[in-house]
Chains A and B, each alone.
Chain A
Amino acid sequence: NAGVTQTPKFRILKIGQSMTLQCAQDMNHNYMYWYRQDPGMGLKLIYYSVGAGITDKGEVPNGYNVSRSTTEDFPLRLELAAPSQTSVYFCASSYSRQGSGNTIYFGEGSWLTVV
Protein backbone atom coordinates (compact mmCIF):
# COMPACT_ATOMS: atom_id res chain seq x y z
CA ASN A 1 0.00 0.00 0.00
CA ALA A 2 2.61 2.56 -1.05
CA GLY A 3 0.19 5.22 -2.38
CA VAL A 4 2.12 8.47 -2.94
CA THR A 5 5.79 8.35 -2.04
CA GLN A 6 7.98 11.44 -1.90
CA THR A 7 11.65 11.84 -1.10
CA PRO A 8 13.57 13.22 0.62
CA LYS A 9 11.61 13.81 3.81
CA PHE A 10 14.00 16.47 5.09
CA ARG A 11 16.59 18.59 3.30
CA ILE A 12 18.64 21.66 4.03
CA LEU A 13 19.80 23.63 1.01
CA LYS A 14 22.10 26.57 0.66
CA ILE A 15 20.94 29.63 -1.26
CA GLY A 16 21.52 29.12 -4.96
CA GLN A 17 21.71 25.33 -4.82
CA SER A 18 19.40 23.18 -6.86
CA MET A 19 17.60 19.99 -6.01
CA THR A 20 14.79 17.70 -7.09
CA LEU A 21 11.98 16.45 -4.93
CA GLN A 22 10.89 13.04 -6.13
CA CYS A 23 7.29 11.88 -6.18
CA ALA A 24 5.87 8.57 -7.30
CA GLN A 25 2.40 7.04 -7.09
CA ASP A 26 1.37 3.47 -7.72
CA MET A 27 -2.39 3.97 -8.04
CA ASN A 28 -2.36 4.63 -11.80
CA HIS A 29 -3.73 8.13 -11.21
CA ASN A 30 -3.69 10.53 -14.12
CA TYR A 31 -3.68 13.68 -12.02
CA MET A 32 -0.70 14.68 -9.92
CA TYR A 33 0.04 17.86 -7.99
CA TRP A 34 2.70 19.66 -6.06
CA TYR A 35 1.67 21.89 -3.17
CA ARG A 36 3.62 23.92 -0.66
CA GLN A 37 2.46 24.73 2.83
CA ASP A 38 4.02 27.57 4.78
CA PRO A 39 3.63 27.69 8.58
CA GLY A 40 0.06 28.49 9.62
CA MET A 41 -1.08 28.70 6.01
CA GLY A 42 -3.15 26.64 3.64
CA LEU A 43 -1.71 24.62 0.80
CA LYS A 44 -0.79 26.48 -2.38
CA LEU A 45 -0.67 24.70 -5.73
CA ILE A 46 2.72 24.96 -7.45
CA TYR A 47 2.26 22.78 -10.53
CA TYR A 48 -0.05 20.04 -11.64
CA SER A 49 -0.26 17.43 -14.37
CA VAL A 50 -3.28 15.82 -15.97
CA GLY A 51 -1.30 13.01 -17.54
CA ALA A 52 2.07 11.93 -18.82
CA GLY A 53 3.67 14.64 -20.94
CA ILE A 54 1.31 17.39 -19.74
CA THR A 55 2.07 19.90 -17.00
CA ASP A 56 0.53 23.24 -16.00
CA LYS A 57 1.30 26.04 -13.61
CA GLY A 58 -0.61 26.44 -10.41
CA GLU A 59 -0.83 29.49 -8.16
CA VAL A 60 2.84 29.78 -7.16
CA PRO A 61 5.03 28.27 -9.92
CA ASN A 62 7.90 30.77 -9.89
CA GLY A 63 11.21 29.19 -8.99
CA TYR A 64 10.08 25.65 -9.75
CA ASN A 65 9.93 23.27 -12.67
CA VAL A 66 8.27 19.90 -13.16
CA SER A 67 8.19 17.10 -15.66
CA ARG A 68 5.88 14.14 -16.18
CA SER A 69 7.55 11.56 -18.38
CA THR A 70 5.57 8.65 -16.91
CA THR A 71 2.19 8.26 -15.23
CA GLU A 72 3.88 7.26 -11.99
CA ASP A 73 6.49 9.99 -11.49
CA PHE A 74 6.18 13.75 -11.03
CA PRO A 75 9.46 15.31 -9.83
CA LEU A 76 9.67 18.94 -8.69
CA ARG A 77 12.86 20.83 -9.42
CA LEU A 78 14.18 23.88 -7.58
CA GLU A 79 16.85 25.49 -9.75
CA LEU A 80 18.18 28.33 -7.59
CA ALA A 81 17.02 27.82 -4.03
CA ALA A 82 15.94 30.95 -2.15
CA PRO A 83 14.96 31.39 1.53
CA SER A 84 11.39 32.07 0.40
CA GLN A 85 11.22 28.45 -0.74
CA THR A 86 11.61 27.19 2.81
CA SER A 87 8.38 25.26 3.24
CA VAL A 88 6.77 21.86 3.45
CA TYR A 89 6.10 20.34 0.05
CA PHE A 90 3.33 17.85 -0.59
CA CYS A 91 2.94 15.76 -3.68
CA ALA A 92 -0.55 14.44 -4.35
CA SER A 93 -2.48 12.44 -6.89
CA SER A 94 -6.07 11.75 -7.80
CA TYR A 95 -7.99 9.59 -10.22
CA SER A 96 -9.72 12.56 -11.81
CA ARG A 97 -9.36 16.30 -11.55
CA GLN A 98 -9.07 17.87 -8.14
CA GLY A 99 -12.33 18.83 -6.56
CA SER A 100 -14.42 16.51 -8.65
CA GLY A 101 -15.30 14.54 -5.58
CA ASN A 102 -12.59 11.96 -5.95
CA THR A 103 -10.18 11.79 -3.06
CA ILE A 104 -6.80 13.43 -3.38
CA TYR A 105 -4.06 11.32 -1.88
CA PHE A 106 -1.10 13.16 -0.41
CA GLY A 107 2.45 12.04 0.16
CA GLU A 108 3.91 12.42 3.64
CA GLY A 109 5.59 15.72 2.83
CA SER A 110 9.12 17.00 2.33
CA TRP A 111 10.48 19.57 4.78
CA LEU A 112 12.83 21.90 2.94
CA THR A 113 14.93 24.62 4.57
CA VAL A 114 16.98 27.07 2.51
CA VAL A 115 19.73 28.86 4.42
Chain B
Amino acid sequence: RKEVEQDPGPFNVPEGATVAFNCTYSNSASQSFFWYRQDCRKEPKLLMSVYSSGNEDGRFTAQLNRASQYISLLIRDSKLSDSATYLCVVNISPGVDSSYKLIFGSGTRLLVRP
Protein backbone atom coordinates (compact mmCIF):
# COMPACT_ATOMS: atom_id res chain seq x y z
CA ARG B 1 0.00 0.00 0.00
CA LYS B 2 1.32 3.44 -0.91
CA GLU B 3 2.08 5.77 1.98
CA VAL B 4 0.04 8.53 0.37
CA GLU B 5 -2.69 7.68 -2.11
CA GLN B 6 -4.61 9.94 -4.43
CA ASP B 7 -7.06 9.38 -7.25
CA PRO B 8 -4.99 10.24 -10.35
CA GLY B 9 -8.00 11.66 -12.19
CA PRO B 10 -8.24 13.51 -14.43
CA PHE B 11 -11.18 15.42 -13.03
CA ASN B 12 -12.74 17.21 -15.97
CA VAL B 13 -15.11 19.95 -14.79
CA PRO B 14 -16.72 23.07 -16.28
CA GLU B 15 -15.79 26.54 -15.15
CA GLY B 16 -17.65 27.49 -12.01
CA ALA B 17 -17.95 23.94 -10.73
CA THR B 18 -17.00 22.78 -7.26
CA VAL B 19 -14.54 19.92 -7.16
CA ALA B 20 -13.15 17.90 -4.27
CA PHE B 21 -10.01 15.81 -4.04
CA ASN B 22 -9.30 13.25 -1.37
CA CYS B 23 -6.04 11.82 -0.20
CA THR B 24 -5.38 8.99 2.27
CA TYR B 25 -2.21 8.34 4.20
CA SER B 26 -1.09 5.16 5.89
CA ASN B 27 1.18 6.35 8.69
CA SER B 28 -0.87 7.35 11.72
CA ALA B 29 2.15 9.19 13.14
CA SER B 30 2.07 11.72 10.33
CA GLN B 31 2.27 15.22 11.70
CA SER B 32 1.97 17.83 8.97
CA PHE B 33 -0.06 17.93 5.82
CA PHE B 34 0.06 20.07 2.70
CA TRP B 35 -1.41 20.52 -0.73
CA TYR B 36 0.98 21.46 -3.51
CA ARG B 37 0.05 22.52 -7.00
CA GLN B 38 2.09 21.46 -10.01
CA ASP B 39 1.52 22.88 -13.46
CA CYS B 40 2.50 20.85 -16.51
CA ARG B 41 6.28 20.59 -16.79
CA LYS B 42 6.77 22.94 -13.86
CA GLU B 43 7.94 22.63 -10.30
CA PRO B 44 5.53 21.99 -7.38
CA LYS B 45 4.44 25.04 -5.42
CA LEU B 46 2.85 25.12 -2.01
CA LEU B 47 -0.88 25.76 -2.27
CA MET B 48 -1.76 25.50 1.40
CA SER B 49 -1.01 23.73 4.63
CA VAL B 50 -3.76 21.62 6.15
CA TYR B 51 -4.71 22.14 9.77
CA SER B 52 -6.74 19.88 12.03
CA SER B 53 -9.50 22.44 12.36
CA GLY B 54 -9.71 22.88 8.61
CA ASN B 55 -8.65 26.01 6.83
CA GLU B 56 -9.73 28.14 3.93
CA ASP B 57 -7.87 30.33 1.49
CA GLY B 58 -10.23 32.10 -0.88
CA ARG B 59 -11.88 29.47 -3.04
CA PHE B 60 -9.80 26.66 -1.54
CA THR B 61 -10.73 24.71 1.59
CA ALA B 62 -8.60 22.00 3.14
CA GLN B 63 -9.78 19.48 5.70
CA LEU B 64 -7.98 16.88 7.77
CA ASN B 65 -9.55 13.80 9.33
CA ARG B 66 -6.94 12.18 11.54
CA ALA B 67 -9.20 9.34 12.67
CA SER B 68 -9.79 8.22 9.09
CA GLN B 69 -6.37 9.36 7.92
CA TYR B 70 -7.53 11.39 4.98
CA ILE B 71 -7.11 14.91 3.73
CA SER B 72 -9.35 16.76 1.34
CA LEU B 73 -9.13 19.80 -0.88
CA LEU B 74 -12.24 21.59 -2.06
CA ILE B 75 -12.10 24.09 -4.88
CA ARG B 76 -15.16 26.28 -5.37
CA ASP B 77 -16.02 28.28 -8.48
CA SER B 78 -13.34 26.59 -10.58
CA LYS B 79 -11.34 28.78 -12.94
CA LEU B 80 -9.54 27.76 -16.10
CA SER B 81 -6.33 28.69 -14.33
CA ASP B 82 -6.98 26.03 -11.68
CA SER B 83 -6.09 23.35 -14.24
CA ALA B 84 -3.06 21.60 -12.78
CA THR B 85 -2.04 18.55 -10.80
CA TYR B 86 -2.64 18.73 -7.07
CA LEU B 87 -0.18 16.86 -4.87
CA CYS B 88 -1.07 15.69 -1.40
CA VAL B 89 2.00 15.82 0.85
CA VAL B 90 2.41 14.30 4.29
CA ASN B 91 5.19 14.75 6.82
CA ILE B 92 6.20 11.58 8.63
CA SER B 93 7.31 12.03 12.22
CA PRO B 94 10.97 11.56 13.17
CA GLY B 95 12.54 8.21 12.58
CA VAL B 96 15.14 6.65 14.80
CA ASP B 97 17.67 9.10 13.40
CA SER B 98 15.35 12.04 14.10
CA SER B 99 14.96 12.63 10.41
CA TYR B 100 11.71 13.92 8.99
CA LYS B 101 10.34 12.74 5.72
CA LEU B 102 7.95 14.39 3.31
CA ILE B 103 5.93 11.89 1.32
CA PHE B 104 4.41 13.12 -1.91
CA GLY B 105 1.32 11.60 -3.44
CA SER B 106 1.37 11.03 -7.18
CA GLY B 107 -1.16 13.81 -7.68
CA THR B 108 -4.67 14.37 -8.95
CA ARG B 109 -5.00 16.05 -12.31
CA LEU B 110 -7.67 18.71 -12.71
CA LEU B 111 -8.88 19.99 -16.06
CA VAL B 112 -11.26 22.95 -16.01
CA ARG B 113 -13.01 23.48 -19.33
CA PRO B 114 -14.72 26.66 -20.60
Interface residues of A, Cβ cutoff 8 Å to B: 35, 40-45, 56, 59, 90, 97-101, 103-104, 106-109
Chain B residue with the shortest CB-CB distance to A6: B43
Interface residues of B, Cβ cutoff 8 Å to A: 4, 8, 31-32, 34, 41-46, 49, 87, 91-92, 99-107
* Inter-chain contact A104/B42, CB cutoff 8 Å: no
* Inter-chain contact B44/A106, CB cutoff 8 Å: yes
* Inter-chain contact B100/A42, CB cutoff 8 Å: no
The main secondary structure of chain A at its interface with chain B is: loop
* Inter-chain contact B32/A42, CB cutoff 8 Å: no
Q: Which of B32, B34, B42, B104 contacts A108 (CB 8 A)?
A: B42
Q: How far is the CB of A24 from chain B (nearest CB, A)?
A: 15
| A58, B102: Cα distance in complex, Å | 10
Q: Which of A100, A101, A108 contacts B43 (CB 8 A)?
A: A108
Q: How far is the CB of B109 from chain A (nearest CB, A)?
A: 9
| A107, B4: Cα distance in complex, Å | 23
* Inter-chain contact A42/B4, CB cutoff 8 Å: yes
Known: A42-B87, A42-B104. 17 other contacts (CB 8 A): A40-B8, A41-B106, A42-B4, A42-B103, A42-B106, A42-B107, A43-B44, A56-B99, A59-B101, A97-B100, A99-B34, A99-B92, A100-B32, A100-B91, A101-B32, A106-B44, A109-B43
Q: How far is the CB of A25 from chain B (nearest CB, A)?
A: 13
Q: Which of B44, B100, B107 contacts A100 (CB 8 A)?
A: B100
A-B contact pairs, 13 of them (CB 8 A): A42-B105, A45-B101, A90-B44, A99-B34, A99-B100, A99-B102, A100-B91, A101-B32, A104-B46, A104-B102, A107-B43, A108-B43, A109-B42
